[in-house]
């Protein structure tokens, strides 16, 4: 399967400011030697070798993940503001004709996970078909509520694609072609759910918006079936360890607990996700460095595990 990250920011879409762009330009120019900018080719090579936090950004759009199975099923997990750009890409791929289909799995309905829907162009094209899965039985009403006339001029029903809603009970599984999908309840205010997607022996686990605090960790073995042996685990790491204590019950985890859980359940690659809106790119660089240091220090480390940090546009082939 192929996984593409269209939105990685937590809680609130966070556009990069003009001041920060200026700082990045100054930093890049400060690093350049005369030969680095002598020709267009030299500029290209110089810029592409700069760290992401200098030449670009981890991204400001809220949660949206695209998964394409080996058998060609298109699966979208969450519909945050990143959904808008995915929708444009889907239009280029055939959804503009109105004869295409996809499945959408929603973790929960906090705004940062659904706010891209009113701007999702494939929903406006008659003939497209979408299956929308959620463990919330009132999911249709929740999405309708976002598009009442006082909040948006077009209702969900006026978006002419066919949208079918399916109740997906937590701790149950369903199959789309050769893909097996498991749903698991996560600790988060108002409830949220994670998804484990398996195909051809490969495992992708996605759980954003989950708070594995000291109480939850006491019965972590209840999550074994969900996390075990993931080739890729995308996990909520919005807070530093200190913030996770100061913000007890806010609903998010830290990189250190993500590493503990990924290690315990023998996950191969951990991707830190749902970035704090107040964190700039340098702070996210630090988050990754600290996470890798913590992993290296862990005396209970029992296998090699990679740690990455999510960025918009990141693609993972499994
Ligand atoms: Zn969120
Ligand atoms: Zn949430």
For the stretch 65-78, pLDDT in tens is: 999 999 999 999 99
> How far is the centre of ligand 1, averaged over its atoms, from the C-alpha of 83 (Å)?
14
> How far is the centre of ligand 1, averaged over its atoms, from the C-alpha of 107 (Å)?
9
List, as one string, the DSSP characters of 213-260: -HHHHTTGGGGHHHHTT-SEEEEE--B-HHHHHHTTTSS--BHHHHHH
Q: Which ligand is nearest to the CA of 188?
A: 2
pLDDT at 64: 98
Residue 54, pLDDT above cutoff 80: yes
Residue 303, pLDDT above cutoff 90: no
| Residues in contact with 28: Cβ distance below 8 Å, sequence separation at least 6, in sequence order | 47, 50, 54, 55
8 Å CB contact between 181 and 196: yes
pLDDT band for position 214 (50/70/90)?
confident
For the stretch 14-45, pLDDT in tens is: 999 999 999 999 999 999 999 999 999 999 99
> How far is the centre of ligand 2, averaged over its atoms, from the C-alpha of 300 (Å)?
31
pLDDT band for position 304 (50/70/90)?
confident
Q: Which ligand is nearest to the CA of 274?
A: 1
pLDDT at 298: 84
Q: How far apart are CA 81 and CA 9, in angstroms?
A: 9
Residue 4, pLDDT above cutoff 90: yes
| Residues in contact with 304: Cβ distance below 8 Å, sequence separation at least 6, in sequence order | 268
Class for domain 2-13+58-317, per CATH? alpha beta
For the stretch 237-270, pLDDT in tens is: 999 889 988 999 899 999 999 999 999 999 999 9
- Residue scoring higher pLDDT (134 or 297): 134
For the stretch 86-139, pLDDT in tens is: 999 999 999 999 999 999 999 999 999 999 999 999 999 999 999 999 999 999
> How far is the centre of ligand 2, averaged over its atoms, from the C-alpha of 38 (Å)?
48
Q: Which ligand is nearest to the CA of 62?
A: 1
pLDDT at 301: 57
Identify the CA nearest to 103 among candidates 71, 66, 138, 136.
Answer: 66
> How far is the centre of ligand 2, averaged over its atoms, from the C-alpha of 106 (Å)?
11
- State how far Cα 315 lies from the chain centre: 11
> How far is the centre of ligand 1, averaged over its atoms, from the C-alpha of 205 (Å)?
16
Q: Is the pTM of this model over 0.85?
A: yes
Instruction: Give CA torsion, residues 21, 27, 31, 34, to 10 deg.
Output: 60
Mean pLDDT of 278-286: 96
> How far is the centre of ligand 2, averaged over its atoms, from the C-alpha of 248 (Å)?
14
For the stretch 170-187, pLDDT in tens is: 999 999 999 999 999 999
């Amino acid at each position: 399967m192929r996984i593409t990250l269209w939105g990685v920011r937590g809680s609130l879409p966070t556009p990069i400011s003009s001041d920060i762009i200026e700082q990045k330009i100054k930093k890049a120019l400060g690093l350049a030697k005369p030969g680095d900018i002598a020709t267009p080719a030299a500029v290209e090579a110089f810029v592409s070798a700069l760290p992401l936090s200098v030449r670009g950004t981890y991204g400001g759009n809220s949660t949206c993940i695209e998964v394409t199975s080996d058998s060609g099923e298109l699966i979208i997990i969450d519909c945050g503001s990143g959904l808008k750009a995915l929708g444009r890409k889907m239009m280029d791929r055939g959804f503009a004709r109105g004869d295409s289909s996809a499945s959408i799995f929603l973790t929960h309905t906090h705004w940062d996970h659904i706010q891209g829907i009113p701007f999702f162009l494939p929903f406006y094209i008659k003939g497209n078909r979408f299956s929308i899965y959620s463990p919330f039985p009132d999911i249709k009403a929740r999405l309708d509520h976002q598009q009442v006339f006082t909040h948006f001029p077009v209702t969900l029903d006026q978006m002419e694609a066919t949208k079918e809603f399916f109740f997906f009970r937590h701790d149950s599984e369903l199959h789309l072609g050769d893909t097996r999908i498991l749903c698991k309840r996560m600790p988060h205010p108002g409830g949220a759910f994670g998804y484990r997607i398996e195909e051809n022996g490969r495992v992708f686990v996605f759980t954003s918006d989950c708070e594995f605090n000291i109480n939850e960790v006491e019965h972590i073995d209840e999550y074994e079936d969900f996390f075990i042996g993931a080739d890729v685990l995308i996990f909520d790491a919005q807070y530093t360890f200190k913030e996770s204590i100061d913000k007890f019950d806010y609903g998010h985890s830290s990189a250190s607990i993500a590493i503990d859980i990924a290690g315990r359940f023998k996950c191969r690659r951990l991707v830190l996700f749902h970035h704090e809106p107040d964190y700039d790119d340098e702070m996210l660089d630090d988050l990754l460095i600290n996470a890798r240091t913590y992993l290296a220090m862990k005396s209970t480390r029992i296998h090699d595990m990679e740690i990455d940090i999510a960025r918009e546009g990141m693609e993972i082939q499994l």
